[in-house]
Each structure stands twice: as C-alpha cells, then as structure tokens.
Structure 1
Amino acid sequence: MEQSSSQSSAERGEAQRQTLHQSDDDQGTSFWRSCFNLLNTLSGVGLLSVPYALSEGGWLCLIIMLLIAISCFFTGLLIQKCMDSSSEINTNSTYPDIGERAFGNKGRWLISTFMCLELYLVAVEFLILEGDNLEKLFPYAYVHLGKLKLGAKQAFVLLVALVILPTTWLRNLGLLAYVSAGGVLATLVVVGCTLWIGAVDGVGFHEKGEMLGSLGGVMRALSLCSFCYAGHSIIPPLRNSMRDKTQFSKVLIFGFAVSTLTYGSMAILGNLMYGQHLHSQVTLNFPTNKTSSKVAIYTTVVNPITKYAIIVTPVATTVEDGIQALSRRRWDNNVAVIIMLTARTCLVISTVVVALTVPLFGPILAFVGAFLNVTLSFLFPCACYLKINAGARRFGIELCIILMILGLGSLIFVVGTYISIRDIIRGMSH
C-alpha cells in the first residue's frame, strides 16, 4: 500500500513537471525560463476580474492588492524553506509532499483535496468565461435541439467543451504546455487592447470611482485579488526543475512583481474607463464594433482552450489513481485507456453541468479566491513551515510576519467565503 501511494505521488509530480516548459537537457531549467513559467502560472483569468475588484473595493484596494502580492511572495519563500530544511523532501516532491512531511497523511490528503477542488473550479470558470465572451460577440446564436432551445451562452459552453474534450485525452501534455506558453503574450495583448480602447477608440478615462467601497465590496476585492496570486502548488516542481536552485527567490520576486504591475495596470485602466459600471469580466464592457475589442475578446477566448487540459490533468490523474486503488489490481493497457477516457470525459461533462447550473463568473471566482486560494497560498504554507521548522516558532520578526499573514488569510477565508457564497445564492435566485 505504501509503495502504491509513493508511485501515485511520483506520477502526479511528473504530470506537474510536464506542464513546466523545461529545457531538453538534463541540467535543468534556466533562470529566465523559470521566471516565464511562474509568470505564466500567475497570469490567468484573474486579469479580467481585477478592474471589477477595484470598483467594488475602491481605489484603496490597490494597497490591498500589493499587500496580498507581498504575502503570497513571502509564503512562496516559506515553501522554498520547507524544501531546503528537510532531507525527506527530494527533487521529485510536490506541494502535498510538504504537507505530508509536516502533518502526515492528513496533511497530504488535505492539500491534495484543496488543490484538486481549486483546479476543478478554475476549469469551470474557463467554460463560464467562454460562454460569456462568445455570447458578447454572437448574442443571437441560439441552438434548437428538438424541442430544447439553448441560449447563446449555453450553446457556446457546450461547443467549447466539445472542442476541449479531445485535448484532455492526451497523456503527454508537452505540446499543450508549449502552446499555453502564449498565456503571457495573451495577457499583454489584453492589457494593450484595453489601453487602446480607452485612449483611441473613444471610451476615454473619465470615471472617478470610489476611494473605499462597502465592507462587502472590500471583501470581494480581497477574495478576487487572492485568486490572482494562486500559484503555490506549482512552486515545488518549478523550484526543483531549476538549474540553479539558489536563484529561485529571484524568480519569485520577478514573477510576483511583474504580475502585480500587470494586474494593477489593468485594474486602473478598467476603473478609469467604466467605474461602477464594470462587469465581473472587463471584456464584457468592451464595445463589440471595435477591432481592438474583438482582438481582446478572441484572445480571452482562445487562451483558456489551450490551458483547460493542463488544469484538469492533475484532477483526472487523482481520480484515476483512486479508481485503481479501489480496484486493488493492476490494469492492462486496454483497460487503463478505457478507464482514462471514461474518467476524463465524465470530468469534462461535470464541469459543463456546473458551468451551466451556476454561470456566475465573479462570485465563483471570489469563492475560489477566499476559500481555496487563501488556504493554499496563505494558511497551509505558514502552518507547514511552523511545523517543520521548530526554530521558526521562536518570537521574532519572521514569526510576527507569519502571524500577520495568518490573520489576514483567516479574515479573507471566513468573511470572503461567506460573502461569495451569499452572492452565489443570490445570483442563483434571480
């Protein structure tokens, strides 16, 4: 049983490392490639929601965004210290391995569960995003299936799922990982188009916004900003893949600094353009009769399609490992392929069902940020570090910083989760 658990962990670690764009030689990934990998991880759909977060929380939430970025950078360093201080955490280790080193099997199980649930809901968000933005471009694309009439949004969610489904059947994600490297370029394109829409296409920068929003608005902003800096599950394989691991702290500095600059720029541009009229995705505010708007929306639509398979693969691998563990026998190749195809197809279908049932991009994003990302990026790294390193529990500056991060994380976790669930219930009732 222990051997099977170890093998599953190694397989998951290998799946994660395949999503990193490692160099082909055996010396490891270069410094700049590692910077790019981290930046690609941090540059996601959160870019579309930060203007809405700022409009909800007010201009002072820029300070909150910076505080969250610094906190997540610091907890990234804590994960690195956990790896450096323990000989039991080797070069094949993943985030759950650190949890197991700190708290045993319960730690591994807890972190793995939160990681899988996070990735699953991000995949759901991808489908909601696709439906929202394609409906923006083609609002009258209704589909009739017998007596069943599908609106444009529902039809596009199903269509995108059919396009994505074959990519989830691939075991080797090397090609998809290479294609998804365009994520950083896509981020720059969307920011550039937003600037062009405001400065050239006539929208302008006339909105003033609020200095500070309501308590609920501030908590939504905290939750959404927390989502933007969710990348801690990739830190162990990213650090282990580096040629010179002593430079990893500089990789963290680069990744978090550039992503914060990008998110901050997008938040400021969106608020000056649309203020309190912002949707949860800023692309839904863009005028569709402008070329720059179409470029931004199409870029937004294409990017998640290339990343969906990479996002759901760790979840699918965990499900397949669980099925094999329950069967208590080794499968031949044909059975393994059938199980893999069935599990991944059912996984895609389930994300479609959730996306069609709860098509609320902003509230779900806030829930993921408050409940899952805060746990993985704030609470677990601090708890694991304090457990593994006894010296860290002595009173000092480091412990004070950790306690402040735990306090901030706990606040977002409790209040942010409550508000996001309340928003989901209200959205479902309308």
Structure 2
Amino acid sequence: MYCCGIGTLGIPYAIQQGGWISILIIILMAFMSVYANIKLIECLYHNNVSRRISITEIAYDAFGNAGSGFVNFFSNATCIGSPIVYLILSGENFKKIFEDNFDIYLGIGTWIFICGGMMCVPYVLLKTMKEASWLGIFGALTTSLVVFVVLFASLMELPNNRDKKHQIINLRNMPITLATAFFSYGGNVIYPHVEASMEHPRAWPKVLSLATSTITFFYLLIGISAYATYGEDTLSPIYKNLPAGLTVTISVVMISIHVLMALPIFLTSFALEVEDFLSINVATLALIGALSQGILLIFMPIVIWIKLFGWESIDSWKEIILVIFALMFSVIVIVTGTILATYALYLDITDPN
C-alpha cells in the first residue's frame, strides 16, 4: 500500500478532470493491475528450475538484451524518479507546515535537502525488502488517517458547496485521468522483491488482490467525497481545498510521513537491482514517469508473459479479450500521457512564466 499516498492526493483531481465516469476507470485500472502483476510473478518461475529475481531478468528471457535494456531503463527510472517526486512533495509540505505554524522560513531547496537527509537513515540501515516492509505498515496507517480526515472534512463542507458543478464525463481531460490512475497504481518494479520476501509466496495473488482492493476503496472514499463537495474547484493535492487549520496540518503531516517512508522502499528495490547487476551477493520526471508507469504497470508484464508462455496458455476466449483490451488500454495511456507530458515540458522551456 506504499503507493497509495500520492494517489490519495491526486485521485480527487483526476475525477474532477474526467468526470464521474473516472470512478469506473479507477476500478477498471485496479482490476487490470491485479491481473497483469499476477502474471508478472508467474513469469519469475517460468522455467521451473530457478526463480528469476526481477522484471529485468524475465524481460531478458523473453526478448533478449533488447528487452532487458528497455525494461531496465524504465524500471530504474521509476525507482529513482519516484523518490525525487516524493522528496519535492515532502519538502513543499514541511515548508508549508513550518511557515504557517512556527514562522520558520526556509527555502524549498533547504527543506528538500532536510527530507533527503531524513530518508538516508532508514535507507542505509535497511538492506533488504523484508527489513523495509515495516515502513509500508506505517505509511499505510498514515495514509488511512489522511483519507478519513479528508472524508470527514469534505462531508462537513458539503452543505456549503451545494452550488458546485459536476460532470458525468469530460473527454477533453480524460488523458489526465488515465495518467493519474496509472501512476496511482504504479510501483510494480518492487513486486518481485516483495514477493521474494514473503513467508508464503504462493499467497501472492490473494495478497495483491487484497492490497489493491484496499487501495481502491481508499481512492473511492476520498475521490467521491472530495469531488462531490468541491466539484469543478477540486485541486491537487486535495488538502488545498480543505479549510485552513488543524485539519490541513494533520493531512500535510501525515502524507509527508507517508512519502518519506515510501522513499526507502523504492531505493531499496533499486539497490537490489544494482547489487544483482554487479554480482554482489548481498541479500524531466513527468515524461519519464508517464512512459515508465504506463509501460511497466500493465503492458510489459502481459507482453512478457505471452512471450514466455504463449497465447495457447490462456484458458478462455474471455481472458484473451481481457488481455487484448488491457494492452490496447495501456498503449492509449502511454501515448496520451507522453504527448501531454512532452507538451507540458515544452511549455516550461518556452514559457517559464
């Protein structure tokens, strides 16, 4: 559930961009994510001799050096890029907290360095994914608190926002909804390491299904309540909509704790990949992010599985339709997300203001 934090902040805005139909998209994304990443773990055992360690290794088995290099680039981009996004978010949050409550004014860069220093302690101390897993527990608890804080605050504000406008569907902004949904369920680059650290790896399908269902439940709670209350004025992160005071402070503190605890999990996964690459036997961003999450979350696990096991291993025509739909859906999100991110990067370069 470590990936739930950023999604929690952005899902209400994603619904605002796409309209109420976005709720169905979120549920559909959850279902496809579970399916694709069950297939991902199956690929680790495809030769019935030894377990592969990472998605990079199974990409090599399926497509050779080209597949390995392709997946390795996006996998490492996610493991490094996501912590950078988290550092920026936590730095902005702590800057707001200390300016609003303690009149301490430090630049955003200073706070990012401070958060980076705080993150280094668990990263250095925790050497394996099993050791890092306890961070996810605290991260899940803090996120749960944020969800219920925003839920109750939104419901209390609802009588004062009856005039807000809502849409059933907004096709113009649907790519933003799709990209946000992909990012919100991202993080499968660490799934092979998580499954390896489990006491009962065969329980992976149940564990993944339960975790994704819980995350989706949180997303729907905060997304529906926030959009119902704030309508077209829903912002990202959602705590910008909340009335100033204790509610906002609690939300900002909790989500900052969550993202700082998620950082070492990503970096531990990256370190394990580097250790394997170097044979060490020891147990900008928006563009790369749009490509990385879109390719890694659903597209590559299914493509690799088909390459390793073949179409004939699919039991029914219904599953074949599901596979084709999931691949087409992923391609649409990859293309639209990349176009939007490239355009945003172009605007940043040509028009700094």
The interval holding the TM-score normalised by the smaller chain is 0.7 to 0.9
Deviations 1:339-372 (A, max 9, x none): xxxxxxxxxxxxxxx7xxx8xxxxx3xx466311
> Normalised by the size of structure 2, how large is the TM-score?
0.85
User: Contact conserved, 1:224 with 1:369, CA < 8 A, in 2?
Assistant: no
* 1:154 to 1:284, Cα distance in 2 relative to 1, 3 A: farther
2:330 counterpart residue number? 409
- For the residues of structure 2 that align with 1:248 and 1:317, how far apart are their CA atoms? 20
1:213 matched to 2:213? The reply is no
Q: Gaps spanning 5+ residues in structure 1: where? A: 1-39, 144-150, 331-353, 359-363
Give the drift of 1:176: 4.8
1:179 counterpart residue number? 135
* 1:414 to 1:311, Cα distance in 2 relative to 1, 3 A: same
Give the drift of 1:257: 1.6
Q: 1:375 aligns with which of 295, 299, 317?
A: 295
Question: What percentage of aligned pairs have identical amino acids?
Answer: 21
SS in 2 for 1:210: coil
- For the residues of structure 2 that align with 1:118 and 1:268, how far apart are their CA atoms? 28
- For the residues of structure 1 that align with 2:13 and 2:34, how far apart are their CA atoms? 23
Higher relative contact order (CA 8 A, sep 6+): 2
User: Contact conserved, 1:385 with 1:392, CA < 8 A, in 2?
Assistant: no
Q: 2:307 aligns with which of 361, 374, 387?
A: 387
- For the residues of structure 2 that align with 1:420 and 1:203, how far apart are their CA atoms? 37
How many residue pairs get aligned? The number is 343
Give the drift of 1:194: 0.4
SS in 2 for 1:104: helix
SS in 2 for 1:169: helix
> Normalised by the size of structure 1, how large is the TM-score?
0.71
* Structure whose CA Rg is larger: 1
Q: 1:76 aligns with which of 33, 37, 46?
A: 37
User: Contact conserved, 1:79 with 1:385, CA < 8 A, in 2?
Assistant: yes
Q: How does 1:298-337 map onto structure 2 within 5 Å? A: 298-316=253-271, 318=273
Q: How big is the alpha-carbon RMSD for the aligned residues of Structure 1 and Structure 2?
A: 3.0
Q: 1:425 aligns with which of 346, 349, 352?
A: 346
User: Contact conserved, 1:133 with 1:284, CA < 8 A, in 2?
Assistant: no
Q: 1:255 aligns with which of 204, 208, 211?
A: 211
1:128 counterpart residue number? 88
1:57 counterpart residue number? 18
1:333 counterpart residue number? none
Give the drift of 1:395: 8.6
* 1:194 to 1:406, Cα distance in 2 relative to 1, 3 A: same
Deviations 1:28-48 (A, max 9, x none): xxxxxxxxxxxx244231111
1:98 matched to 2:19? The reply is no
1:142 matched to 2:142? The reply is no
User: Contact conserved, 1:49 with 1:224, CA < 8 A, in 2?
Assistant: yes
Give the drift of 1:280: 2.2
* Equivalent AA in structure 1 for residue 324 of structure 2: L
- For the residues of structure 2 that align with 1:159 and 1:125, how far apart are their CA atoms? 15
Give the drift of 1:107: 2.6
Give the drift of 1:172: 2.8
User: Contact conserved, 1:226 with 1:369, CA < 8 A, in 2?
Assistant: no
1:281 counterpart residue number? 237
Give the drift of 1:85: 4.0
